[in-house]
Homo-oligomer: A and B are copies of this chain.
């Protein structure tokens, strides 16, 4: 399957049409952005790392009953995926408080939350991805109530699966963001990616950050951290 015209370019990926109208090619970029793209950078090979990590995690989730857009990986940094209409929500699940949550609600950084907190943000760069409640989603025709329930349940299931998986790899899944899309039959599929760009991983023993916060906070060794995450995912011991 070969790339045809560019359909969409986001901050982390490019989506291309293919000869099959129901399939797209998702190309993972080396670009890094943070704070709604106010901070920009690039790490050669980051796209390929995220492509590998996301492929592994999507396969794991598929095995555990989560429907995803992934068909197969076709090169180092390209996936063949089902075409979906993206639901413009950033679905965030948090296990440990850090980042914007700590400032917004004055919760101490590193607080282990008593339950997995789910938040919905409107995927709209111009508006700064504002927090939404369920009624906002209905008002903006983002998703029906039933679709929201599906989204939320899927996101919580994904959290349960990944949290346990990463714990065995010595990583705390601090929080993550996922996106969903609807295929031509109305099925809600996990889309986009799951990678250190969209998750926070802290080493269980040292609390070392192994995710995009290294870029956000200028800690450095971004790619080394992403390589470490991939190595732990692939480690079968």
Query: Which A residues are within 8 Å of any B CB, using their own CB?
Result: 104-106, 113-115, 117-120, 122, 124, 126-127, 130-136, 138-140
Contact = CB atoms under 8 A, between A and B. Distances in A.
Q: Please state the number of chain copies in the assembly.
A: 2
13 contacts: A104-B127, A105-B127, A105-B136, A105-B139, A105-B140, A106-B124, A115-B138, A118-B133, A118-B135, A119-B133, A119-B136, A133-B134, A134-B134
A66 to B, nearest CB: 21
A127 B107 CA distance: 11
Nearest to A124: B106
B130 A133 contact: no
A133 B130 CA distance: 12
A136 B117 contact: yes
Nearest to A111: B139
